[in-house]
Structure 1
C-alpha cells in the first residue's frame, strides 16, 4: 500500500488559508460549525431532499464511498463494500443481525439475499432514511425479515444478548460517541457474537489539531472520534472485544473518490459515474491533500471484534 506520510507543508497551509477565507466571508456560519452540535439527521435529511432519484424504485440508493478494487461503477463499488463488511462479519444463515446507521438499507437487502441471514434489525437516527428504506424493503418482499426503526447507536432499545452480529457500514464516525457505541454493541451481542465496521478515520501520523476540529464539525463528526486505527483497536479492547481485526482498504476506496467528486462536480449522476483504477489511479495522497483533508477522512479500515463467550 502507498505510504502517504504527512501532507506536504504547502498543501497543509493552502488548506488552512481556505478555511480562514471562508471564516472571513461568513463568520456567523463558521462559528456555528465550531460548536459541538452534531445534527447528523439534519445533514442526511438535506442530502436526501436534494437527490432527484431518491424515490425511483429502479435506482439503488447506496450511500458509501465504495470498494473499487475490481468495480468500475458507483453502485457496483458500494455493493462490493457491503460484501466486504459481510465477509468480515462472517454473516451466515440464521444470524440475528443488528445493522446500525443503515442509510437506505441497501446492504440489508443484499445481505438477506446473498447471505441468507435469519433476520435483520436496523436502527437509524434520520427519519426520512428510515421511511424510504422501509418502502424499499417492502418492495423487495423482505418486510418480514428486515425490521427498520428510528433509534440511537449509543442508546439502543434492545436487551442484552439479543444479536449474533452488529454491523455499522460507514457511519460510526458520526456516533456521539463511537466509544459509547462500542459499549452498547458489546452489551446487545450474544456471547461469541461479532461486531463489524467499515469506518473512516484520521491516518496514522495526522495531527489531531484545531483544523481537524473545524473540519470534523462541518462533517458532523464528534471530535472525540478523531483517532487513528491503533487507538481504535485499543478502544475495542477496552470494551472487552477479542480477536480484533483491522484491515486497511484505503487504496481501494479513496483514489476512486478523487474521480467520483470530480465527475459529480461536472453534474454527472453518481449512477452514471465510471471509474477504473486499473487504468487511472491518482493515488491516496491526491485524496488526502485535498478533499480528504477537508472531510477529515484519510484512512479507511474494516474492523471486527468478538464478544467473549
Structure 2
C-alpha cells in the first residue's frame, strides 16, 4: 500500500483489523485475493471471478515467463503467486502490512513458487527497487491508497525498464462535483477502507503521459465487477444486526464496523455513478 495523509499505520490497522472479515466474506481460502472479481459470464464462483481478474490483467499486460513483475500493494499474495504459477513470471510483492506479507509467503511456499514469488515490506510511492529493473508494474485496488497518485506513477516510471508495461485496476472518481449527501456517502466508503481519495481516469491518464508513458489505455470495466460489489453490499446489510450487537459487547471494534458500513456505501455510490471501476494499461 502507498502512504497517505491517513498514514501507514492507518492503512496497516485497517487491513489487519479487517482480515477476519475478508476471510469470511471474500473466501480467502479459495480466492487468495482481496480484489474484485472480473465477471465475464463464464465464472461459476467468486473465486473463479477473482482468478479471472488476474488472467484479464496478465493478458492485457502480456506477462510471460521472461518477465519480472512488481506487484504493488500485493496483499495476501494471490496475484503474485498466480503470476508465478500460471505465467512463470518472477514476481516481487510489495506491501506495508506485515500480516498480509506473512500470508503471502505462506501461500507461495504452499504453491511451490517461493523462489519466483517473493515479498517485501515497502511503500509503492518509495519503492525499494533499482532504476530500470522491472518489466511490469502491477497494481490491483491498491494505488487508491496513495494520496498523490502521481507519486506512484513517478516511481513506476523510475523502476520500469525501457518498453516496460504498467497495468492497474482500481476505483476512479466519475464526477467532477457532488452534492453534500453524495460526498457524505463517498466519505463513509473511502474513510472506512482507508482510502484518501480517488483519481479520475482522465487525471490518471494525464499523470501517466506527463511521466513519459505511452500507449495509455483506460477502460471502464464497472459492469464486470458489479457482482463483486453486490456481494459486499448484501453482506454489509445482512451482517448489520450482528455488527451492532457485537460492537455493543466489545466483539467488534470501530475499524471493523467502519469496514462493514463501507461495503454498503461502495455499492450505492457505484450504482449512483459517482465512481467507476477502471483498468489502465500503459507502456514506458
Shorter-chain TM-score: which interval?
0.7 to 0.9
Task: Give the length in aligned residue pairs.
Answer: 250
Q: Distance in 2 between matches of 1:242 and 1:208?
A: 36
Alpha carbons 1:100, 1:123 under 8 Å: kept: yes
More helix by share: 2
Q: Distance in 1 between matches of 2:145 and 2:267?
A: 22
Give the corresponding residue for 1:84.
56
Q: Distance in 1 between matches of 2:162 and 2:156?
A: 12
Give the corresponding residue for 2:282.
305
Alpha carbons 1:85, 1:169 under 8 Å: kept: no
Alpha carbons 2:30, 2:47 under 8 Å: kept: no
Listed as ranges, the matches of 1:1-309 within 5 Å are: 36-38=5-7, 39-50=10-21, 59-70=30-41, 71-117=43-89, 119-205=90-176, 207=178, 211=184, 212=186, 215-223=189-197, 226-263=198-235, 265-266=237-238, 290=268, 292=270, 298-307=275-284
Task: Sort the Cα spacing of 1:208 and 1:107 in 2 relative to 1 into closer, same or farther, 3 A.
Answer: farther
The TM-score normalised by the length of structure 2 is 0.78
Q: Distance in 1 between matches of 2:30 and 2:121?
A: 23
Task: Sort the Cα spacing of 1:60 and 1:78 in 2 relative to 1 into closer, same or farther, 3 A.
Answer: closer
- Shift in Å, 1:228: 1.7
Alpha carbons 1:57, 1:136 under 8 Å: kept: no
- Shift in Å, 1:102: 0.9
The TM-score normalised by the length of structure 1 is 0.72
Q: Distance in 2 between matches of 1:159 and 1:213?
A: 36
Gaps of 5+ in 1: 1-34, 268-285
Moved more, 129-138 or 257-266: 257-266
**Aligned Cα root-mean-square deviation (Å):** 2.9
- Shift in Å, 1:49: 4.1
Gaps of 5+ in 2: 240-263
Task: Sort the Cα spacing of 1:57 and 1:50 in 2 relative to 1 into closer, same or farther, 3 A.
Answer: closer
